Structure 1
Amino acid sequence: MHDLPPSTPKAGEPENAAAEPKAAKTPVSYADAGVDITSGDRAKQRIKMLARKTFNKQVLSEIGGFGGLFALDLVKFPEPVLVSSADGVGTKLKVAFELGIHHTVGADLVNHCVNDIAVQGATPLFFLDYLATGKLENDVVETVVRGLSEACKANGCALIGGETAQMPGFYADGEYDLAGTIIGAVNRPDIITGAGIEIGDVLLGLPSNGLHTNGYSLARKLLFEVAGYGPDQYVNELKDKTGAALMRTHRSYLSVIKKLTAGGLVAGMAHITGGGITENLPRILPKGMDAVVDLASWTVPPLFEHLRELGSVTEEEMMRTFNMGIGLIAVIPAEKITKAKAILNRANERHCILGRIVRGTRKVVYN
């Protein structure tokens, strides 16, 4: 007589009898599941010290509470409107992982978010970050947060809290995700939306520092898969190593924006991020207007030209994927452009006249 298979109930047992659960022979901890609380606590202590360097008298709480407390200065903002933005670094992180460079991605994140609210006339107040990883590597976390802290301080923004999450099995070893939220304020009469843009206004462009934080999926495919470059390989067409060209920090335009807005010179501003000029500039155009952009008005940096060549990428695709060397566009009334250019020249800020506002249907027209 053969033994019954395990799935077949023995005589006298109900057919739906459940298997006896197996218990662990020794106690199982959270660390056994991949989450090291003790290591996380050590990381939080380091983060606390770095964040404190960004605090000002408006910060009323310490890192580690359930929420960050910030007192709005009602003397500086008597008619306050809060402006917020949230973003991430995207697949630029893949390059950071491969190169082991983690100190710049924090600045990328902060500066991106700062620009997004500064183009609406807002002053950054405080920042919250979110870093999630599979296995917590304290040195990496500290390096990332140091970058966040330094960028916050440079932009006059307090890093008042955030979250560092350990999620084993969700992220590959050595990888993490990084996102952040910024809160700023502007007095209601000083909000810049683009509503005041008029026919004949001038488009003034400010240079980017490379890809910033957009278009990396296509750039990585072209450079690493199509061309077969290594991240440490020097490429003549780029005049740099591939990884270094890709890791250039997303610049902050806050200081130059403040100079232009202080003089009441700006009718609207667009931060050129994902979607390029093609999709970002129309976001501030009033109904019945187009932006005419002269493609010959600036020199496209070598990185973008080489990407175009490697993939035989169309002009249309390039212009709606990358910033093409223009990171910010300010719309200036024609009668104020001379003064705006003088301010930029005194600040040693490179700039170019990209085109003008004409009648149209809220789109960008390239010449």
Structure 2
Amino acid sequence: MSGDNRNRYASAGVSIERGNRWVDAIRPLAAKTDRNGVVAGIGGFGGVFRPEWEKYRDPVLVSGTDGVGTKLKVAQWAGIYEGLGIDLVAMCANDIAVMGAEPLFFLDYYASGRLDPEVGKRIFSGIAEGCRQAGAALLGGETAEMPGVYQDADFDLAGFVVGIADREKIVDGRKIGLGHRLYGLPSTGIHSNGFSLVRKVLIEERGISPGYRPEWSPGEDWAHILTRPTRIYVPLILEMIARVEVSAMVHVTGGGLTENVPRVLPEGFSARINPRAWEKPPVFQEIQKAGKVTTREMFQVFNMGIGLVVVVPSEAGKALEGFLSEKGETFYFLGEVIPGGREVVYDRSF
């Protein structure tokens, strides 16, 4: 083969050598997430995991997949990438944890026009940290260099999680009844939804700069406010359901309280929520003001400061409050379950 033809794949924009270096950099990060059950992880054609089946009467696997949406573009604007990996794990692991499942392992998919080792290492360090927080092994994944599909440094992320639960202990809302109480736990900020609107009204229209510190946040600039990672509620959830009778839980993602709470409500029930039960973080007030967004739409797009909703029978309310206080958690009583057509009824007009 002539020298002119030896590196045709590289001339097309894909470097096998760069990809190999990438995997070598990820391997030690993944090793830090090892847990009981890992048989074989990154490097083979597939990850191998053996759950501790004997711990369960009727074990079922629970899976989830998600991404971080256009928060990717905000991370590029801010030059802060570590939180994206935590976001990715959180979006997947929180979703299965609210069903009562313990995350076992996590897989990622990363695709870019051209792999940037420095950016990649920062993202994957976040994924490893997210897996550590969620108690899941980073078992494998796929890294793809796709020039022509993605432009230069543009990239996308997706995550996949598998967890386990006892079938009879799945938390799915079927035990919800009249008078059950709804409690909210704070988010760490915007989390990972609504960033198309954030980019439009704050970055494109208002023109905020990454390094500017708004007067209501003297400790953080806009770059860090907007890239603050999603909270991983998994350890708290798993301990909570072992100690308190929980009817349902809601991970508040795209659609906010308005769209997510009805997902756990049985037929014939609605949730009455007091939208003034908690103080909304200033970042949401900034978005609403900058974009002239109605309050109703804000509650349909963002978590508005509530990242997790817990529904319990009225008689379990004190037990939940005691548990959360013991754990040092801030929480809010949001409202209760009422007769209705599987919707959120805000008890005060917007």
- Give the TM-score category using the shorter length: over 0.9
2:313 is equivalent to residue 333 of structure 1: yes
Shift of 1:217: 0.5
2:83 is equivalent to residue 104 of structure 1: yes
Structure 1, unpaired ranges of 5+ = 1-23
- Pick from 287, 291, 313 the counterpart of residue 307 of structure 1: 287
Q: Secondary structure at the match of 1:353?
A: strand
Structure 1 or 2: more helix by fraction = 2
Shift of 1:173: 2.3
- Pick from 37, 45, 56 the counterpart of residue 58 of structure 1: 37
Which of these two proteins has the greater Rg computed from alpha carbons? 1
- Contact 2:244 / 2:319 at 8 angstroms: preserved in 1? no
Q: Distance in 2 between matches of 1:275 and 1:186?
A: 27
Shift of 1:226: 2.2
1:344 alignment partner in structure 2: 324
1:248-281 deviations in whole A, cap 9, x for unaligned?
A: 1100111221232012421001100000000000
Q: Distance in 2 between matches of 1:243 and 1:352?
A: 28
- Pick from 195, 213, 219 the counterpart of residue 174 of structure 2: 195
TM-score calculated relative to the size of structure 2: 0.95
Moved more, 242-251 or 284-293: 242-251
2:225 alignment partner in structure 1: 245
Moved more, 254-263 or 35-44: 254-263
Shift of 1:352: 0.4
- Contact 1:238 / 1:303 at 8 angstroms: preserved in 2? no
- Pick from 12, 16, 21 the counterpart of residue 37 of structure 1: 16
1:199-251 deviations in whole A, cap 9, x for unaligned?
A: 00000000001010000010111111222211222222455422211111100
Q: Distance in 2 between matches of 1:263 and 1:92?
A: 35
Q: Identity over aligned residues, as a percent?
A: 45
Name the CA shift for 1:57/1:354 in 2 (closer, same or farther; >3 Å): closer
Q: Counterparts of 1:85-234 in structure 2 under 5 Å?
A: 85-234=64-213
Q: How many residues align?
A: 344
Name the CA shift for 1:290/1:253 in 2 (closer, same or farther; >3 Å): same
Moved more, 351-360 or 105-114: 105-114
Structure 2, unpaired ranges of 5+ = none
2:254 is equivalent to residue 293 of structure 1: no
Shift of 1:295: 1.1
Shift of 1:305: 1.0
1:93-133 deviations in whole A, cap 9, x for unaligned?
A: 11111222111110111012111000000000000000000
Q: Secondary structure at the match of 1:30?
A: helix
1:18 alignment partner in structure 2: none
- Contact 2:62 / 2:164 at 8 angstroms: preserved in 1? yes
- Contact 1:103 / 1:144 at 8 angstroms: preserved in 2? yes
Q: Distance in 2 between matches of 1:71 and 1:218?
A: 42
Moved more, 145-154 or 256-265: 256-265
Shift of 1:175: 2.0
- Contact 1:208 / 1:326 at 8 angstroms: preserved in 2? yes
Coordinate RMSD, CA, aligned? 1.4
Moved more, 269-278 or 228-237: 228-237
Amino acid in structure 2 at the alignment position of 1:74: W
